């Protein structure tokens, strides 16, 4: 990973204690590295040990303080906030897969809703916390006819994942309104970028298939419209928002959409990736199996541009090219490591006669 180059304010971040929940996730890994680059003292809340996560593979894990526990454990959160004197909180921890939410709604609701109120209640009891950035989602808006979504649109999720994000967003708003917690809410499009090893997701799954010479699988009918947002742009947006919360009180309490403001269908994105990789010979395997997905979603990010002076650095093509390069290196290293293990096994076998 490299420094994101946006929102650099060493006076703000230097030696600042920052808690990142969900630090092992796609955005969490990039955000954690960006905070370290800026001199922050990062505490990462980790539930499961994920040896394949970018946080571990890149060596970032050795540069942060680790707190073990679940985001629903308010006592753990209070201890972490107090013992490390945390000033800024990025709440990213969530169950993020729509299919998982459909199969197991209870764990999704527990993680996404209870996890949010537990975190906010712990922050309410902490005298040190000055900025809280809560990760909501474009899914919190639910299906609507009036698009693109702006921040004043009603939150009306209907299916388990969408409802969990609508509820968590509203819980955050209630803590701001009732207890005046210093928080902001982010609503981003579908995040993509290097480090996402959930192959059921469209971007990493399509890239892996293309690198292996296989047809990429599309679970839906390919017509769903989405707003795809590159992870480095997302990390820089979060950092900029926290900085502005520290300097502009009028920003506190607001929700912001972050997006490239593009309308791209699943099938169009798949074909774009194949074209960028020179694999137009691979036709997508369209299965039409997905259920409970919103057909059209895309965001209006004019408020972030106007209020924060924010702009994405990467176009869809440039973000995808950087992502493709990351996975190409990842799979090449995997091949090399496999070869090294095989040679090592042969050497041991030969020595044993």
In this predicted structure, the answer to whether residue 339 has a pLDDT above a threshold of 90 is no
- Indicate the average pLDDT of the chain: 91
**Whether 230 is catalytic:** no
pLDDT value, residue 80: 97
Tokens of 34: 């960006």
The 3-class secondary structure across 90-147, one letter per residue, is EECCCCCCHHHHHHCHHHHHHHHHHHHHHHHHHHHCCCCCCEEEEECCHHHHCCCCCC
pLDDT value, residue 53: 73
Q: Measured between alpha carbons, how far is 105 from 112 in angstroms, rounded to an integer?
A: 10
pLDDT value, residue 337: 56
pLDDT value, residue 349: 47
| 298: Cβ contacts below 8 Å, ≥ 6 apart | 138, 147, 148, 149, 189, 225, 226, 227, 259, 261, 262, 263
C-alpha distance across the termini of the chain, in Å: 44
Going from the C-alpha of 155 to that of each of 61, 65, 141, 165, the distances in angstroms are: 35, 35, 4, 9
In this predicted structure, the answer to whether residue 239 has a pLDDT above a threshold of 60 is yes
Q: Measured between alpha carbons, how far is 105 from 95 in angstroms, rounded to an integer?
A: 10
* pTM score: 0.90
Q: Measured between alpha carbons, how far is 106 from 22 in angstroms, rounded to an integer?
A: 19
pLDDT value, residue 161: 93
The pLDDT of 96-119, averaged and rounded, is 92
Q: Of 141, 149, 161, 298, which one is the catalytic site residue?
A: 161
Q: What would the pLDDT profile of 113-134 be if each residue is shown by its tens digit?
A: 999 999 999 999 999 999 999 9
The CATH class of the 10-194+226-262+293-315 domain is alpha beta
Backbone angles phi, psi at 312, to 5 degrees: -70, 145
Q: Measured between alpha carbons, how far is 112 from 91 in angstroms, rounded to an integer?
A: 10
CB atoms within 10 A of CB 179: 12
In the chain, domain spans:
10-194+226-262+293-315
Backbone angles phi, psi at 116, to 5 degrees: -70, -45
- Number of residues in the chain: 353
pLDDT value, residue 238: 98
pLDDT value, residue 4: 46
The 3-class secondary structure across the chain, one letter per residue, is CCCCCCCCCHHHHCCCEEEEECCCCHHHHHHHHHHHHCCCEEEEEECCCCCCCHHHHCCHHHHCEEEECCCCCHHHHHHHHHHCCCCEEEECCCCCCHHHHHHCHHHHHHHHHHHHHHHHHHHHCCCCCCEEEEECCHHHHCCCCCCCECCCCCCCCCCHHHHHHHHHHHHHHHHHHHHCCCEEEEEECEEECCCCCCCCCHHHHHHHHHHCCCCCEECCCCCCEECEEEHHHHHHHHHHHHHHHHHCHHHCCCEEEECCCCCEEHHHHHHHHHHHCCCCCCCCEECCCCCCCCCECCECCHHHHHHHCCCCCCCHHHHHHHHHHHHHHHHHHHHHHHHHHHHHHHHHHHHCC
Q: What would the pLDDT profile of 138-147 be if each residue is shown by its tens digit?
A: 999 999 999 9
The pLDDT of 309-332, averaged and rounded, is 96
Tokens of 119: 């975190």
Q: What would the pLDDT profile of 178-196 be if each residue is shown by its tens digit?
A: 999 999 999 999 999 999 9
CB atoms within 10 A of CB 326: 18
Q: What would the pLDDT profile of 25-59 be if each residue is shown by its tens digit?
A: 999 999 999 999 999 999 999 987 766 677 777 88
């Amino acid at each position: 990973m490299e420094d994101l180059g946006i929102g650099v304010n060493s006076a703000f971040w230097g030696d600042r204690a920052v808690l990142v929940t969900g630090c092992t996730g796609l955005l969490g890994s990039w955000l954690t590295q960006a905070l370290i680059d800026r001199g922050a003292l990062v505490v990462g809340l980790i539930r499961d040990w994920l040896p394949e996560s970018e946080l571990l593979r890149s060596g970032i894990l050795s540069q942060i303080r680790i707190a073990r526990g679940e985001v629903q454990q308010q006592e753990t959160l209070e201890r972490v906030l107090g013992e490390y004197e945390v000033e800024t909180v990025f709440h990213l921890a969530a169950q993020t897969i729509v299919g998982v939410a459909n199969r197991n709604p209870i764990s999704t609701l527990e993680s996404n809703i209870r996890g949010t109120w537990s975190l906010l209640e712990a922050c309410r009891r902490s005298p040190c916390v000055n900025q809280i950035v809560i990760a909501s989602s474009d899914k919190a808006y639910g299906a609507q006819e009036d698009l693109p979504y702006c921040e004043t649109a009603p939150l009306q999720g209907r299916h388990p994942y969408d409802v969990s994000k609508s509820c968590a967003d509203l819980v955050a708003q209630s803590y701001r309104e009732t207890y005046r917690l210093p928080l902001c809410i982010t609503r981003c499009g579908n995040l993509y970028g290097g480090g996402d090893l959930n192959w059921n997701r469209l971007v990493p799954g399509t890239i892996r298939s293309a690198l292996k010479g296989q047809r990429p699988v599309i679970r839906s009918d390919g017509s769903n419209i989405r707003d795809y947002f590159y992870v480095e742009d997302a990390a820089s947006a979060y950092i900029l928002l926290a900085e502005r919360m520290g300097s502009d009180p009028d920003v506190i309490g607001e929700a912001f959409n972050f997006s490239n403001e593009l309308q791209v269908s699943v099938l169009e994105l798949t074909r774009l990736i194949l074209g960028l990789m020179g694999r137009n010979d691979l036709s997508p395997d369209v299965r039409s199996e997905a259920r409970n997905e919103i057909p059209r979603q895309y965001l209006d990010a004019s408020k972030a541009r106007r209020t924060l002076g924010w702009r994405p650095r990467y176009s869809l093509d440039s973000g995808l090219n950087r992502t493709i390069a990351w996975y190409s290196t990842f799979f090449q290293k995997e091949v090399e490591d496999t070869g090294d293990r095989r040679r090592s096994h042969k050497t041991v076998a030969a020595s044993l006669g």
